[in-house]
Structure 1
């Protein structure tokens, strides 16, 4: 493949730190490269050097003649007085940009909800970031450098961006270098991964899953001293191989080697033990939303919400910005009262919320981390059953990636990712039994995300997560719900089902009035269509009920006399039969939803 650009013997250092030492690498036609590594190790700096934005102290960057390079960095260079139109298409005539399929696709994928003539100074930071990305993607480039392009994008926009980048250039042409902590995006788009660590850049074939396998092999062969990091990687690999069926066909790594590496790795969560412990801490009643709704004047945010949250339940919530996710969390947390229906809360429920605002740190900004810890509990119970251990706050911080030297750092001087991890620690030390995470992955690198996931695997309580990070959502939750048309809807098919439903929802307004009234094209007659929709609704209710019974039965197993083998076998047989029923109902649900369209 033809060389596009590269760096030779790159050296960069700051007064207190050498960032890169004699790094040589290159980008060829057809390369789609993801950059990973811990925060502060130089990912964005490497991208900046190759893009010509950062001058190395030694070595050189070469670009093949005629190669056009486009860059999305972290800086906001948009002029406040510009409009979205002028920022994205400049002074190009309307017939020119409107007639260009790529430009239309970019506008629909990123800016469909924003008025075309809006002044940039009136937009939020996230909206301005989307405009900058649209401006870049609407132009022709041979190589593109993207620094955290998924920031401020929801699940749908991230999915669109992945598809756009995969089809942007013909196979074997163009070059892409992307820094992102979104592991689903890395797996979906990238064919090579560069890991930045210890002043070097190490190349791995494949996306994130393939990189994890090769890193485990590397660490094992080198007898790496980073035992904790290695174990987390092996655990994550086990989940990738066992827990993500939709992804297994994408990473092209050796399955036999992967199975050999994870054969002694247990399931990522002991669901029975966690549910049993959650039941003992919470009782049978957690939070029940009973025909709950919230309206502001004539505007209905939520309606007819029926959700009985079980002890130990792990649920992800999806929905577009403004759909009502924060309102739903407010009902669960008790900070918001419904305007219709009611919310029933168990007597022992203690809810804690990891917000996006870092509120928990406001009172500690001038204090060193060590002083903050001294005011907290002396220990924290971690794990389940025989694996339960008592960790000090300092040990827990170490597990979340803090070094002993950082304990003397004032909270205000911590990085965004460090503040996020300290915020989680403060909440966990309150010993809540219902934990709400609202966009918890902001500012965290892939290693720290894995550390947070590992911590949550042994957290014995009810977990509710709102996140645009698809990988994290699928990794830490067992089922997903979406807010669609102000209603809460269970998603047996997970994120893929949500994206399909949203695509149908977006397509509906574009059809004629007659066809919109009749619903999506399905091939069913009006009567059959109504019958199918009723059956789908009934199946969703039945699936939710039976799955709740299964979860409760599994939790009860922990209290059963294990010497009573016959009774235990009978209970397991009933659970297995119920799970078989759920699988059959879900299969029927999929068939019907395909017929409905």
Structure 2
């Protein structure tokens, strides 16, 4: 059944049309993700479809009796009403609490909010979650969501994706969260240059189909094609779930990425990072940290020992309020631990992107603001000018001469990030770097970080970005520890769902050197134990590198199946690596045994 029809719809704000002669329809059961650059017309399109905006020309037809529920980027909450009144109206608690679906929505989105609190007293994130809960408790034929994952942590985003997938409602969603797009959508619309390009499948299928169109059309934008091919290669080499859902021709995809190198040359980057940083980057030794200062606020770390080495690319996750930003501030030396020691390498040159935007001179031009830091920078093997990097992060042409005071929040964040990169740091601490960035800019940022040699620690609720730029995942689970998660975000969600208990994978791999200690291991002094734990960490990083080399050799051997000479050489190299791996594993087990682990 057809729910909404647009016929020759056009709309503009000023001289440039955001929609030009657009004709399309939404049918019952459609699950559509909308993508496009910021300011390109995505919100205009969904507002026209929702009926909250009348287009300049064209016709919009809704099916008779259509119930549309929409979530805009703002909210219209009455500040004098309580959260409960906003979400369930005047229903008494015994009535709505008896509905399992409503209970689940309330628990998943509002579990930490006082339901009797007035909307006027809520934070921006709490208001956002209240508006989303109000929408989801209702019955609708079509749900329209504009950036629904804003202010949600990874756990809540995962719940929302599962909730929406289970509903029979038609769905139209605008989001920059690519993991969420793949989880909830079966079709993708791209709003570009006033038109709407349509693709089958979620984000992964959209990337593949768009690259295939570009290849067939022999498009002249070679660099943009390479970016998409690089992302396809990562998608195909990532977890199988990424590419199991989209409907695309595997043969065409394989042809596109046949000669595509890995997203990052990890060995080369680590080698370069070690040359820039030396052996020590950050050593946390027996550190206790509270989020609000010594003994104040939630406990973040309790007598934790950890090491961040040269070239480490770490994704840091945890629920809101778990202390992720506090840990980054500890590493940035803007807060001090309650106890313990943080050893920083002498050669560390730090750049810290916090959630608060640093003050910029509102009278300066964008290009001037970047060039005052540096006019050129070397990223990997290529030199970039300030203007070229600005263009990569969305400041094209005249936009580089805009006055800083006229920039939006998202533009200011991009500018601040670029200023940090231009200062040529060798350690990057990024706290929610993807806020307000569109997908095309995220692709450019990821590509830029692929060639950046140094230690990277990133906090983000954007699961796709987190998995894309980091090699390891570490979590704050509220127990005062930094927990290594070999299974990444999936393992984090498993452990959260089971109350933080060790999953089978984590039990096998064991958490690295972070257990709170009340006493030293049997027969060891505190100093000896710290040294042993450092060595344990070094061995684990060595095992990671050997594992990567082993995987590459297996792939090379598969490619050289018909070349017996090459195969023999690769086999000999593989045996050496396996022997070295066995030696390192034996050393690891001996150390772990001495530490009582």
Decide whether aligned partners of structure 1 residues 4 and 347 sit closer, same or farther in structure 2, where only a CA change above 3 A counts: same
- Residues 379-418 of structure 1: pairs in structure 2 closer than 5 A: 379-383=376-380, 388-418=381-411
- Residues 48-447 of structure 1: pairs in structure 2 closer than 5 A: 48-169=47-168, 174-295=169-290, 296-297=294-295, 300-359=299-358, 362-383=359-380, 388-447=381-440
Contact 2:486 / 2:509 at 8 angstroms: preserved in 1? Answer: no
Residue number in structure 2 paired with 1:589: none
- Deviation per CA, 1:258-299, whole angstroms, max 9, x where unpaired? 111011211000011101110110001111111211143375
Runs of 4+ in 1 over 6 A off after TM superposition: 532-535, 538-543, 552-556, 566-572, 580-586
Give TM-score scaled by structure 1 length: 0.86
Decide whether aligned partners of structure 1 residues 39 and 281 sit closer, same or farther in structure 2, where only a CA change above 3 A counts: same
Partners of 2:208 and 2:452 lie apart in 1 by 26
Contact 1:275 / 1:555 at 8 angstroms: preserved in 2? Answer: no
Secondary structure of the corresponding residue to residue 499 of structure 2: helix
Residue number in structure 1 paired with 2:498: 504
Contact 1:550 / 1:578 at 8 angstroms: preserved in 2? Answer: no
Deviation at 1:207, TM superposition (A): 0.2
Decide whether aligned partners of structure 1 residues 437 and 217 sit closer, same or farther in structure 2, where only a CA change above 3 A counts: same
Partners of 1:224 and 1:77 lie apart in 2 by 45
Partners of 1:204 and 1:190 lie apart in 2 by 11
Deviation at 1:423, TM superposition (A): 1.0
- Deviation per CA, 1:462-517, whole angstroms, max 9, x where unpaired? 000000000000000001000012211000110011011111128xxxxxxxxxxx
Decide whether aligned partners of structure 1 residues 126 and 19 sit closer, same or farther in structure 2, where only a CA change above 3 A counts: same
Secondary structure of the corresponding residue to residue 173 of structure 2: strand
Partners of 1:581 and 1:46 lie apart in 2 by 60
Contact 1:268 / 1:457 at 8 angstroms: preserved in 2? Answer: yes
Decide whether aligned partners of structure 1 residues 580 and 477 sit closer, same or farther in structure 2, where only a CA change above 3 A counts: farther
Contact 2:485 / 2:511 at 8 angstroms: preserved in 1? Answer: no
Secondary structure of the corresponding residue to residue 343 of structure 1: strand
Residue number in structure 2 paired with 1:512: none
- Deviation per CA, 1:527-579, whole angstroms, max 9, x where unpaired? xx9xx9799458998985533124677999xxxxxxxxx99999875545566
Decide whether aligned partners of structure 1 residues 544 and 260 sit closer, same or farther in structure 2, where only a CA change above 3 A counts: farther
Partners of 2:102 and 2:587 lie apart in 1 by 43
Residue number in structure 2 paired with 1:495: 489
Contact 1:7 / 1:25 at 8 angstroms: preserved in 2? Answer: yes
Secondary structure of the corresponding residue to residue 505 of structure 1: coil
Secondary structure of the corresponding residue to residue 363 of structure 1: coil
Deviation at 1:373, TM superposition (A): 3.3
Which stretch of structure 1 is more off in the superposition, 176-185 or 571-580?
A: 571-580
Contact 1:331 / 1:338 at 8 angstroms: preserved in 2? Answer: yes
- Residues 450-465 of structure 1: pairs in structure 2 closer than 5 A: 450-465=443-458
Give TM-score scaled by structure 2 length: 0.86
Which stretch of structure 1 is more off in the superposition, 235-244 or 273-282?
A: 235-244
Decide whether aligned partners of structure 1 residues 14 and 326 sit closer, same or farther in structure 2, where only a CA change above 3 A counts: closer
Partners of 1:283 and 1:320 lie apart in 2 by 33
Partners of 1:148 and 1:419 lie apart in 2 by 19
Which stretch of structure 1 is more off in the superposition, 155-164 or 419-428?
A: 419-428
Partners of 1:138 and 1:13 lie apart in 2 by 34
Secondary structure of the corresponding residue to residue 353 of structure 1: strand
Secondary structure of the corresponding residue to residue 459 of structure 1: coil
Deviation at 1:321, TM superposition (A): 1.1
Partners of 1:476 and 1:263 lie apart in 2 by 22
Say whether 1:448 aligns with 2:441: yes
Decide whether aligned partners of structure 1 residues 196 and 538 sit closer, same or farther in structure 2, where only a CA change above 3 A counts: closer
Contact 1:546 / 1:578 at 8 angstroms: preserved in 2? Answer: no
Secondary structure of the corresponding residue to residue 498 of structure 2: helix
How many residue pairs get matched?
Answer: 545
Unpaired stretches in structure 2, ≥5 consecutive residues: 515-532, 550-567, 589-597
Deviation at 1:416, TM superposition (A): 2.8
Contact 2:543 / 2:585 at 8 angstroms: preserved in 1? Answer: no
Decide whether aligned partners of structure 1 residues 136 and 535 sit closer, same or farther in structure 2, where only a CA change above 3 A counts: closer
Decide whether aligned partners of structure 1 residues 332 and 95 sit closer, same or farther in structure 2, where only a CA change above 3 A counts: same
Contact 1:543 / 1:582 at 8 angstroms: preserved in 2? Answer: no
Deviation at 1:363, TM superposition (A): 3.1
Partners of 2:190 and 2:321 lie apart in 1 by 36
